[in-house]
Amino acid sequence: MRTTAIMRRRGAALLAAGAGAALSAPWVARAQQGQYRPEYKMSVVGNRPIPFAEGAFIWADLVTQRSNGRINVKVYPGSQLVGGDQTRELLAMRQGVIDFAVLSTINIAPQVREASLFQLPFLMPDHRALDALITGEVGRDIFGVVERREVVPLAWGENGFREISNSKRPLRTPADLRGLKIRFAAGNIFKDIYEALGANPVQMSFADLQPALSTGAVDGQENPINLFLAFRMDTLAQKHLTIWNYVNDPLIFALSKQVWSSFSAADQQLVRECAEEAGKQQIALTRKGLGAPGTDRASLEELQKRGVEVAALSAEEKRAFAAATKPVYDKWASTVGAELVRKAEAAVRSAAA
Q: What is the pLDDT of residue 55?
A: 98
Q: How confident is the model at residue 185, as a pLDDT?
A: 85
Strands 240-243 and 309-312: parallel
- Name 76's Cβ contacts closer than 8 Å, sequence gap at least 6: 41, 42, 43, 44
Q: What is the pLDDT of residue 339?
A: 98
Q: What's the pLDDT band for 34 if we cut at 50, 70, 90?
A: low
User: What pLDDT is recorded for position 240?
Assistant: 98
- Assess contact for 69 and 77: CB atoms under 8 A: no
Residue 307 zone, left/alpha/beta (φ > 0; ψ -120 to 50; rest): left
pLDDT number for residue 251: 98
**HSE of 273, CA atoms in CB hemisphere, 13 A:** 12
Residue 154 pLDDT: 98
- Looking at residue 186, its pLDDT comes to 83
Cβ burial, residue 5 (10 Å; 0-12/13-18/19+) = exposed
CATH class in words for 163-247+296-352: alpha beta
Give yes or no for residue 31 having a pLDDT over 90: no
Which range among 29-38, 105-114, 162-171, 294-303 shows the weakest confidence by mean pLDDT?
29-38
- pLDDT, the chain, mean: 91
Mean pLDDT of 135-156: 97
- pLDDT tens column, 36-55: 999 999 999 989 989 999 99
Instruction: For residue 159, give Cα distances in angstroms to 45, 55, 95, 123, 288.
Output: 11, 10, 25, 16, 12
Least confident of 13-17, 69-73, 154-158: 13-17
Q: What is the arrangement of strands in the sheet containing 309-312, beginning at the earlier edge strand?
A: 200-203, 181-184, 220-223, 163-166, 240-243, 309-312
pLDDT grade, residue 95 (50/70/90)?
A: very high
Closest CA to 214 of 196, 235, 228: 235
Do the beta carbons of residue 222 and residue 134 sit within 8 Å? no
Query: What are the residue boundaries of the structural domains of the chain, listed by start?
Result: 37-159+249-287, 163-247+296-352
Q: Is the pLDDT of residue 26 over 60?
A: no
Q: Which residues have a Cβ under 8 Å from the Cβ of 336 and sit 6 or more positions away?
A: 113, 114, 116, 117, 120
| pLDDT classification of 7: cutoffs 50, 70, 90 | very low
Q: Is the pTM of this model over 0.85?
A: yes
Average pLDDT of span 125-149: 97
Helix axes 326-336, 338-352, angle to 10 degrees: 120
Share of the chain above pLDDT 70, in %: 90
Range scoring the smallest mean pLDDT among 11-15, 69-73, 235-239, 287-291: 11-15
Q: What is the pLDDT of residues 185-242, one digit of tens each?
A: 888 999 999 999 999 999 998 889 999 999 999 999 999 999 999 999 999 999 999 9
| SS3 (DSSP) at 122 | coil
pLDDT at 294: 78
Mean pLDDT of 274-284: 98
CB 115 within 8 A of CB 138: no
Distance CA 347, CA 353 (A): 10
Query: What percent helix, strand, coil does the chain show, rounded to 5?
Result: 55, 15, 30
Question: Which pLDDT band holds residue 15 (cuts at 50, 70, 90)?
Answer: very low
Domains 37-159+249-287 and 163-247+296-352 agree in fold: yes
Question: Which fold, 37-159+249-287?
Answer: D-Maltodextrin-Binding Protein; domain 2 (3.40.190)
Q: DSSP 3-state assignment of 240?
A: strand
For 4, list phi and psi in degrees, rounded to 5. Answer: -65, -40
Question: Residue 3: is its pLDDT beyond 50?
Answer: no
